[in-house]
Structure 1
Amino acid sequence: MRRSPVLLFALGLLTLLPAMGVGGYVLNILVMIFIFAILAVSLDLVMGWAGQFSFAHAAFFGIGAYTTAILQRDFGTGFGVNLPVGMVLAGLCGLLLGLPALRLRGHFLAIVTIAFQTIVYLALTQWKGLTGGQFGIEVQPVPGFASIGRFYYLALGLSVASIAIGWCLTHSRLGMAWQAVRDDEVLARAIGLNTTASKLTAFVIASALAGAAGVLVAHHIRGVTPDDFTVLTSATIVAMVVVGGRGTIWGPLLGAAVLTALPEVLGFAADYKLMIFGLLMVLMVIVMPQGVFGAWVGRTKK
């Protein structure tokens, strides 16, 4: 509850930014932060709360994005249809992957999710009749939200809704079940919890939210290509969760903000940007293994 005033102030400030005359460049970066916040918070349900590693989040991100692109191109549907359909399809793909994969643990699960990510990427590049191959598909802006100022509010609203969903879930009985599985799956099973169902629920919800982020990004960048949804994208989302702090909701949100904005800040060193970016990430993980938010919470408790 002590964080409520800070959160309300931050939300109020974000709401006022377009009216304060903030430029389109900054608003574009903030929109991408909102999109990656949805991805990081949703992946944290799987990694931080249920204790399962997944490197396939960009695949569900891409499924949502390509769903909206294909529906708009072939059927002329709008955002109001594309968003729920993209979420449902991404969630179903998460269910199909999770049913066999979540019976595995540790690096075996990670390998299966990487394989799924690779399969989705290859499908996007090779199924040219449906996906357009490497050329991708053009996406028209959301009617009424064509300007960056208006789309900013759409992205902010969906981001806040996703974070609220994550907070409510992690503070429910389901969230307690996820934590029990994360802390000791054998003990959780011994006391009667259906650990496979608990993990699968986290996986499906996270996949559906990633699909929503995909629908948003397709309309934001007004197109989709396979290279936007690679295993590198999945690794970046994982890094946001780890750097921010797993199992905290607010940590992945902070990680999404930092790791989305950092490449822009390092724009002055374009030739060395990836090297600096990588070194900073390694240092942060070494110095603060529990993540930025986790380290801050630990200090406040002392």
Structure 2
Amino acid sequence: MGKIAISKGRIFLYVLTALAFILPLIFRNEYVYSVLISIILWAAISSSFDLTAGFIKVTNFGYAGFFAAGAYTSGLLALYYGVSPWIGLIPGTLVASSLAAAVGFLTLRLHGIFAAAFSWFIAEALKYTLAALTDITRGYHGLACPPFFPGITRLPYYYMILLTYIVELLIIMRIVNGKMGFAFKVIGEDETAARTIGVNVTFYRVLCFVISCAFAGFLGVFYAHYYNVITPDVSSLSVTVPALAICYVGGRGSIWGSLPSAAIILMIFELLRPYEAIGIISFAHKYIVYGILLIIVMIWVQGGLAGAVKKLMEKYVRTTS
């Protein structure tokens, strides 16, 4: 029965991937491209956030700081040294992961609310630093970032973020299904038991944190050169809260649940956009939506969308075997 379920799941993923590649060719519309890019970008952000939240059970409230580190590293290199955004992906990722190693070494010796508060403090400190260094970062005037692709169509960006997301998922799946992933899961379940069987808890907690933040830095570079302008707000909760909400609604520890979760949440926001334009609702109402969805998940859909799908598949396999 397990093999049947796995094969059906793989077929579903293959069909979904094929559909993702041909979807923009069916809907030849820049607005559709922009929505699809946003969905996949936030799914990718949430999947990397899920690496710590879902496996070592550390909610990284400072996630946005590492996202911003990647974005600003590439943006500043492009502005002052003429470095190509494609090259900027490398230093952006390295700076974010190096910062994560330093922060993780300090933060992950703490537990619970203390670790979360410390990581959030780092992101806030970075935000205010970026805002204060106006001569370098342009502060809230915005740092202009050159695009990856010439021209006005968003289609190349869609395929770029789609490939990025697929590669990210493959890497994360390889990690969590291997020795490293076993260590992450054991630590997340019971640190004392992990130490008992010889797992270096501090090392693997920091390693998981660094890998997650390396993805954050890479995606931050994409964000900077896709939207072409960044402000210190990329280091705020306006990035971390959506990542957290999408992760939990999709199913913490599921990896792939972030995609349908991001699609549902962003489509809700697209439906609300006309009301935001005429002033009936404001940007702050998005946090109400996140809160409502999280309450629904915690009360009625524990395990998120991925958990619900898993239960349905198990029920289907039992009834057909």
TM-score by length of 1: 0.94
Task: From 33, 38, 41, give the equivalent of 1:35.
Answer: 41
- Aligned AA for 1:9? V
1:179 aligns with 2:185: yes
Aligned to 1:283: 296
Shift of 1:146: 5.3
**SS of equivalent to 2:257:** helix
1:195 aligns with 2:201: yes
Cα distance change on mapping 1:269 and 1:80 into 2, 3 Å: closer
1:293 aligns with 2:299: no
TM-score by length of 2: 0.89
Bigger shift: residues 124-133 or 179-188: 124-133
Task: From 196, 202, 218, give the equivalent of 1:212.
Answer: 218
Aligned to 2:257: 251
- Aligned AA for 2:306? F
1:47 aligns with 2:46: no
Shift of 1:277: 5.1
- Are 2:52 and 2:59, in contact at CA under 8 Å, matched by a contact in 1? yes
Note the alpha carbon deviations across 1:58-83, whole angstroms, 9 max, x for none: 11111111111101101111132101
Bigger shift: residues 275-284 or 250-259: 275-284
- Aligned AA for 1:7? L
Equivalences for 1:69-218 in 2 at 5 Å?
69-144=75-150, 147-218=153-224
Note the alpha carbon deviations across 1:29-74, whole angstroms, 9 max, x for none: 1111222122111111111011112101111111111111101101
- Are 1:36 and 1:213, in contact at CA under 8 Å, matched by a contact in 2? no
- CA–CA separation in structure 2 for the residues paired with 1:145 and 1:34: 21
**SS of equivalent to 1:301:** helix
- CA–CA separation in structure 2 for the residues paired with 1:180 and 1:199: 11
Shift of 1:144: 5.0
1:24 aligns with 2:44: no
Aligned to 1:61: 67
Could you tell me which runs of 5 or more consecutive residues in structure 1 were left unpaired when the two chains were aligned.
Answer: none
- Are 1:185 and 1:195, in contact at CA under 8 Å, matched by a contact in 2? yes
Could you tell me which runs of 5 or more consecutive residues in structure 2 were left unpaired when the two chains were aligned.
Answer: 1-5, 316-321
- CA–CA separation in structure 2 for the residues paired with 1:167 and 1:146: 35
- Are 2:65 and 2:127, in contact at CA under 8 Å, matched by a contact in 1? yes
- CA–CA separation in structure 2 for the residues paired with 1:143 and 1:24: 15
Shift of 1:229: 3.1
User: Which is greater in Rg?
Assistant: 2
- CA–CA separation in structure 2 for the residues paired with 1:131 and 1:225: 8
Bigger shift: residues 144-153 or 195-204: 144-153
- Are 1:65 and 1:218, in contact at CA under 8 Å, matched by a contact in 2? yes
Shift of 1:208: 0.5
- Are 1:140 and 1:222, in contact at CA under 8 Å, matched by a contact in 2? yes
- Aligned AA for 2:214? A
Cα distance change on mapping 1:152 and 1:145 into 2, 3 Å: farther
Cα distance change on mapping 1:210 and 1:289 into 2, 3 Å: same
Cα distance change on mapping 1:146 and 1:70 into 2, 3 Å: farther
Note the alpha carbon deviations across 1:121-152, whole angstroms, 9 max, x for none: 11111111221111121111114575201121
How large is the RMSD of aligned CA atoms in angstroms?
1.7
- CA–CA separation in structure 1 for the residues paired with 2:262 and 2:106: 30
